[in-house]
């Protein structure tokens, strides 16, 4: 009996782990299983990113002929010329900013409106949800080619065929500077509103029904319930939709590349009316083989997206703290 009490009173002293066991109970086995992924990640992700950062400070064109096209370090020369002197880059920044504001704002409104309209769990709404979500999982190239046919400037284009049936002259949709960015915004909303709708539906279904019941008892109408219950509780979803939508909008490429080529081999359409940052990066890197310059464009794009995402998160957090 005394021996049993003595054994029971012994305090547990954890053993000190050594070597690979400090971070995993499996020891070296877990590191061996992780090694293939880590090596591939370093080779295919980390190394290219660091190499592009190094190239952004260089004049590099993959040929590096000392007489015709020498390569070498230029310091911050690429960044300085981009920010201060490159008019095409300034045009790309302006076009991209207009596109991002329009696509993200209108896309957010469209996604939220669809989720509110299709919130009821009926058979018709389930079918409509699938229909609106289908463009989000359709091949981007195929979608752009279809819209290219819709907006063709001759009588073969769908819109011009409809106009012709009403006796209206055809319109050069893709050759009119004032129509380029609105067309891209419309395509973005059509293709992305369904994905945002699914996210908002998940957020709406997560709101407890008792909040709405209590609000009805207190005399709140539908508008007040939406303003004081639905919108505040959907803020996390809204932040996610805005950030992911902003990142995606800044990276627009297929629509500009396929719908707005130029006769001189560059990208962006007539007078660079649809030139965006990523197509300009591609143009510099793969049409003009200025790979160092294109790398600088990529890192400026990364800085812009990172700064906007950080500001969005901070502002949202500050508004929540004020409440």
Task: Return the pLDDT at 320.
Answer: 63
Q: Is the pLDDT of residue 288 over 90?
A: no
CATH number for the domain whose boundaries are 79-322: 1.10.3720.10
Q: Is the pLDDT of residue 171 over 70?
A: yes
Buried b (16+ CB within 10 A) or exposed e, 88-104: ebebbbebbeebbebbb
pLDDT in tens, 81-117: 999 999 999 999 999 999 999 999 999 999 999 999 9
Q: pLDDT > 90: what percent of the chain?
A: 57
Q: Is the pLDDT of residue 278 over 50?
A: yes
Band of pLDDT at residue 30, cut at 50, 70 and 90: confident
Three-state SS across 38-99? HHHHHHHHHHHHHHHHHHCCEECCCCCECCCECCEECCCHHHHHHHHCCHHHHHHHHHHHHH
Rounded to whole angstroms, the Cα distance separating 38 from 51 reads: 18
**Contact call for residues 151 and 159 (beta carbons, < 8 A):** yes
Give the global pTM: 0.85
pLDDT in tens, 224-273: 999 999 999 999 899 899 999 999 999 999 999 999 987 666 788 888 89
The overall average pLDDT reported for the chain is 86
Domain limits, CATH 1.10.3720.10, in the chain: 79-322
Task: Return the pLDDT at 28.
Answer: 73
Q: Is the pLDDT of residue 3 over 60?
A: no
């Amino acid at each position: 009996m005394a021996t049993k009490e003595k054994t029971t009173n012994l305090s547990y002293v954890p053993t000190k782990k050594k070597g690979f066991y400090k971070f995993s109970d499996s020891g070296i086995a877990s590191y061996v299983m992780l090694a293939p992924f880590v090596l591939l990640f370093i080779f295919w992700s980390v190394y290219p990113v660091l190499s592009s950062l190094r190239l952004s400070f260089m004049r590099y064109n993959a040929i590096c002929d000392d007489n015709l096209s020498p390569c070498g370090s230029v310091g911050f020369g690429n960044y300085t010329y981009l920010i201060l002197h490159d008019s095409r880059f300034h045009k790309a920044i302006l076009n991209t900013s207009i596109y991002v504001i329009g696509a993200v704002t209108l896309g957010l409104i469209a996604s939220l409106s669809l989720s509110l309209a299709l919130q009821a769990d009926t058979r018709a709404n389930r079918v409509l949800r699938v229909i609106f979500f289908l463009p989000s999982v359709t091949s981007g190239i195929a979608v752009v080619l279809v819209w290219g046919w819709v907006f063709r400037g001759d009588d073969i284009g769908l819109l011009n065929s409809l106009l012709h049936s009403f006796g209206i002259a055809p319109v050069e949709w893709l050759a009119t500077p004032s129509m380029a960015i609105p067309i891209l915004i419309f395509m973005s909303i059509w293709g992305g509103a369904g994905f945002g709708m699914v996210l908002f539906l998940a957020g709406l279904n997560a709101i407890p029904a008792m909040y709405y019941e209590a609000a009805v008892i207190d005399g709140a109408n539908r508008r007040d319930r939406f303003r004081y219950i639905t919108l505040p509780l959907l803020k996390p979803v809204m932040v996610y939709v805005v950030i992911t939508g902003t990142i995606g909008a800044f990276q627009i490429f297929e629509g500009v590349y396929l719908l707005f080529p130029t006769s001189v081999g560059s990208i962006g359409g007539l007078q660079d009316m649809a030139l965006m940052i990523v197509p300009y990066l591609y143009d510099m890197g793969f049409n003009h083989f200025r790979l160092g310059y294109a790398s600088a464009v990529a890192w400026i794009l990364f800085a812009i997206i990172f700064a906007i995402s950080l500001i969005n998160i901070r502002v949202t957090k500050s508004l929540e703290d004020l409440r």
